[in-house]
């Protein structure tokens, strides 16, 4: 339907940036722990909300429970990039996309071949010792049980942003700068309800803002084009 308009803008734009949220990953089969079902499951099994379980306070207080929940719900690797990830990687390779900004931590954009990925919330693929700083891959968390420990005895934690923690400053500033310089900004798979996602849009000064999300967002009226379809379907439909 409206996909032709979007495709035209992508082809004509001198500088396109994509900004994606959880919806981009759920279409690859990654459950959204912030969804109603995700909240229900956390409350049922742990008696706590995902926001509590993934908070820095709780991590420090009960790392054993944190890692149990984390391994079950966030450490998911048996998934594949979908049509949206693949199309974005192709666009970058063709020089048509300057950056992917993502709130997801699963590394699926890189798996699809994207190189300039700004991960606002970090990545499950990177882990580090809180005591000596030694870095570890994802295997360390997959192959151990309980609280993962470094050789030095320190706790190995994922390089993901927990609730109560700040976003990685350098990454956020780079995202801001990419949005500011973009001519076409495509925002997908996010309801734009959570700070700082919504805040990033305020930096946009380009020609066309496109929102792709299954449900309405508070920014729909600001956009030049709104598509309420699954994002994988939209990118598949454009035949990029």
Q: Closest separation between CB of residue 136 and Zn ion, Å? A: 9
Among 22, 86, 91, 150, interactor with Zn ion by CB under 5 A: 150
Strand 122-129 and strand 135-136: the pairing is antiparallel
134 binds Zn ion (CB under 5 A): yes
Residue of 85, 109, 116, 121 with catalytic role: 121
Residue 209: which of 11, 13, 63 has the closest Cα?
A: 13
94 binds Zn ion (CB under 5 A): no
Distance CA 84, CA 100 (A): 11
Active site residue 228: no
Phi-psi region of 236 (alpha: psi -120 to 50; beta: other; left: phi over 0): alpha
Piece in contact with Zn ion (CB under 5 A), picked from 93-101, 146-154, 205-213, 231-239: 146-154
Q: Closest separation between CB of residue 157 and Zn ion, Å? A: 11
Phi-psi region of 147 (alpha: psi -120 to 50; beta: other; left: phi over 0): beta
131 binds Zn ion (CB under 5 A): yes
Q: Closest separation between CB of residue 149 and Zn ion, Å? A: 8
Q: Closest separation between CB of residue 55 and Zn ion, Å? A: 23
Piece in contact with Zn ion (CB under 5 A), picked from 41-49, 97-105, 122-130, 224-232: 122-130
135 binds Zn ion (CB under 5 A): no
Among 154, 176, 180, 183, interactor with Zn ion by CB under 5 A: 154
Q: Which residues are catalytic?
A: 121
Q: Which residues contact Zn ion by CB under 5 A?
A: 129, 131-132, 134, 150, 152, 154
């Amino acid at each position: 339907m409206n996909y032709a308009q979007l495709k035209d803008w992508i082809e004509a734009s001198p500088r396109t940036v994509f900004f994606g949220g959880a919806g981009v990953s759920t279409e690859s089969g990654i459950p959204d722990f912030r969804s109603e079902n995700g909240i229900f499951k956390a409350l049922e099994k742990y008696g706590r909300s995902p926001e509590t379980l993934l908070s820095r306070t709780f991590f420090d207080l009960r790392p054993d429970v944190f890692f149990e929940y984390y391994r079950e719900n966030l450490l998911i690797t048996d998934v594949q990039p979908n049509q949206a990830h693949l199309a974005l990687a192709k666009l970058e390779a063709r020089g048509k996309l300057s950056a992917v900004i993502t709130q997801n931590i699963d590394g699926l954009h890189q798996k699809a071949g994207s190189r300039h990925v700004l991960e606002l919330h970090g990545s499950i693929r990177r882990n580090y010792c809180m005591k000596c700083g030694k870095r570890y891959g994802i295997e360390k968390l997959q192959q151990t049980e309980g609280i993962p420990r470094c050789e030095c005895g320190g706790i190995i934690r994922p390089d993901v942003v927990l609730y109560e923690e700040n976003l990685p400053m350098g990454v956020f500033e780079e995202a801001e700068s990419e949005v500011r310089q973009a001519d076409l900004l495509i925002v997908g798979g996010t309801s734009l309800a959570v700070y700082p996602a919504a805040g990033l849009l305020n930096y946009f000064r380009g020609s066309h803002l496109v929102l792709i999300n299954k449900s309405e967002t508070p920014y729909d009226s600001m956009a030049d084009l709104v598509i309420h379809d699954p994002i994988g379907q939209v990118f598949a439909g454009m035949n990029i």
